[in-house]
Chain A
């Protein structure tokens, strides 16, 4: 009896489909290998600047592809508002007393993914490298809104020691925001003032939280 059982078992083994791995098989017409696909998802953030579309004229935001990331040029400016500059201008109400404001709109677009907490997300700006002379400084729209400023009074000096929040908390990923930035030219004279080409750097920071 045991001998017949063994013969039967051997017969079954011989007739059955033999699969040697998931990639090969014999005595059949189908085979099914598997592929395990793995990935590690990372949170991602992106903040881009672009030329505005809200004001009458716009200073171009140019992506450099290097450092700094973007540039904007207000052109030739003066404290009396004589020069037109490259975009918009508020001349001083009291020449020789008030500042002249040369300004432009711009767009800032935050994008972020795979963040579970986003309601406290903010965008800040700070002058991280100031002008080398005392008679010019960076200004921003005081309202932090897309409303086009109506006068020089709508602008505030952009902070140099800490960051100013210009959007949020609670910005939407992928939605461009219109903001306004400019330079105030002071009617100062003396040893610390300067003329000629001057530049400063503003650092924008997106924090998703």
Chain B
């Protein structure tokens, strides 16, 4: 059926005396099916196998190659296919699962266990930390992983003794912990590592086979990352997730009567200031500096700027400084904000007590833009 429409230079397949001319699309489909659906198998006696939901292990000779893709210490963005990211308080853990299948090297009644170590560690081992989870664990939580040994003489247990019998398959976990690193330890770029797996006969103590998994297909990519989040402070107004956040002072008036929950009122020239505490949480990783600068300015002003205004203060008692309406007029909140710190700040809403033609009653809104820059 393909012979009548055969394109030049396409491969042919001979079978039972028939010649099949394979289109490029058909070859791609076959390649995809082979890659996705047939477990990689390389070792003579035991194999590493792609586990459902895990990264793809690609066979190269008797060994394997794979990749965790792109990572960052804050766990921002979607991880690579087959990788799960767990943001932690001091970094992020990118983990995956894989399977080990024993198909030889063990006599009936014998079992084998598996150890592993980083035979070639990352060139930046402070920025990218290989971790392993044994087959005895579910390997879906950070506390189930521990640093992978870099010592051939003291390897990390993957399948604990007495191990498994021939024909058995077990799942284990592999992870890369990306800790927060700023300043001198900061790194962003690509790196690679090689993990050696050794299967040992539990009955004889003999080494059955050693395989390697190279994390280089493609090389792992570590990105710098920044994050600045706002949150409600105890006793303050609620900050609701919006685009990006929203805060509602509710009903206010120029005399400061009846402040809503979470608000304090203080008198000032020309009106009153309703104020609330709120939280700023900067986080950054793999930046050259260990401190960040936080600023804010009014990027969209109130429709009635003579009646309402936004002010900033470091304490509940002020002084409250008017926040400028352009990046150049931004109020500097901090120049020394530390990674993963929490800053309590006070946002003031000035309400004019003026009457007359310029007076206004009704709803109004403004937008503050906060900028964190890690120099």
Q: Does residue A18 face the partner (Cβ distance < 8 Å to B)?
A: yes
Residue pair B366, A40 in contact (C-beta under 8 Å):
no
Q: How far is the CA of A27 from the CA of B357 in the complex (A)?
A: 51
Q: How far is the CA of A40 from the CA of B287 in the complex (A)?
A: 42
A28, A40, A41 interface centre (most CB from chain B within 10 Å): A41
How many residues on A have C-beta within 8 angstroms of the other chain's C-beta atoms? 37
Q: Is the interface of A mostly helix, strand, loop or mixed?
A: strand
Residue pair A32, B245 in contact (C-beta under 8 Å):
no
Contacts A22-B243, A24-B76 known; A35 to B367 CB distance under 8 Å? yes
Closest to A22 in B: B244
Q: Does residue A111 face the partner (Cβ distance < 8 Å to B)?
A: yes
Residue pair B371, A32 in contact (C-beta under 8 Å):
yes
Residues of B within 8 A of A29 (CB): 224, 226, 284, 287, 373-375
Q: How far is the CA of A12 from the CA of B156 in the complex (A)?
A: 40
Closest to A112 in B: B355
Over the window 245-259 of chain B, the binary record of Cβ atoms lying under 8 Å from chain A Cβ atoms (1 yes, 0 no) is: 111111111110100
Q: Does residue A161 face the partner (Cβ distance < 8 Å to B)?
A: no
Within the complex, what minimum Cβ distance (angstroms) separates B188 from chain A? 7
Residues of A within 8 A of B255 (CB): 44, 46, 111, 113
Over the window 10-40 of chain A, the binary record of Cβ atoms lying under 8 Å from chain B Cβ atoms (1 yes, 0 no) is: 0000000010111111111111111111111
Q: Does residue B81 face the partner (Cβ distance < 8 Å to A)?
A: no
Residues of A within 8 A of B228 (CB): 23, 31-33
Q: B247 contacts which of A26, A38, A44, A112 (Cβ < 8 Å)?
A: A38
Q: B227 contacts which of A31, A41, A115, A174 (Cβ < 8 Å)?
A: A31
Q: Does residue B225 face the partner (Cβ distance < 8 Å to A)?
A: yes
| Contact-size category for B | 35 or more
Q: Does residue B310 face the partner (Cβ distance < 8 Å to A)?
A: yes
Q: Does residue B16 face the partner (Cβ distance < 8 Å to A)?
A: no
Residue pair B77, A20 in contact (C-beta under 8 Å):
yes
Residue pair A42, B252 in contact (C-beta under 8 Å):
yes
Q: B365 contacts which of A30, A38, A114 (Cβ < 8 Å)?
A: A38
Q: B310 contacts which of A20, A30, A37, A42 (Cβ < 8 Å)?
A: A37
Closest to A32 in B: B371
Residues of A within 8 A of B246 (CB): 35-38
Closest to B249 in A: A39
Q: Does residue B119 face the partner (Cβ distance < 8 Å to A)?
A: no
Residue pair B359, A26 in contact (C-beta under 8 Å):
no
Q: Does residue A118 face the partner (Cβ distance < 8 Å to B)?
A: yes
Over the window 180-214 of chain B, the binary record of Cβ atoms lying under 8 Å from chain A Cβ atoms (1 yes, 0 no) is: 00000000100000000000000000000000000
Contacts A26-B77, A35-B367, A114-B355 known; A41 to B307 CB distance under 8 Å? yes
Over the window 213-256 of chain B, the binary record of Cβ atoms lying under 8 Å from chain A Cβ atoms (1 yes, 0 no) is: 00000000001111111100000000100111111111111110
Contacts A37-B349, A44-B255, A114-B360 known; A30 to B250 CB distance under 8 Å? no
Residue pair B77, A18 in contact (C-beta under 8 Å):
yes
Within the complex, what minimum Cβ distance (angstroms) separates A175 from chain B? 13
Within the complex, what minimum Cβ distance (angstroms) separates B199 from chain A? 37
Contacts A31-B226, A35-B247, A113-B359 known; A25 to B76 CB distance under 8 Å? yes
Q: List 15 A-B contacts (CB under 8 A).
A: A22-B243, A24-B76, A24-B225, A26-B224, A31-B227, A34-B243, A34-B367, A36-B367, A36-B368, A37-B248, A38-B363, A41-B364, A44-B255, A114-B361, A116-B359
Question: What is the interface of chain B, defined by CB distance below 8 A to chain A?
Answer: 72, 74, 76-77, 188, 223-230, 239, 242-255, 257, 271, 274, 284, 287, 299, 304, 307-308, 310, 347, 349, 351-357, 359-375
Beyond A29-B374, A29-B375, 8 additional contacts (C-beta under 8 Å) are: A23-B229, A26-B76, A26-B77, A41-B361, A113-B355, A114-B307, A114-B352, A115-B359
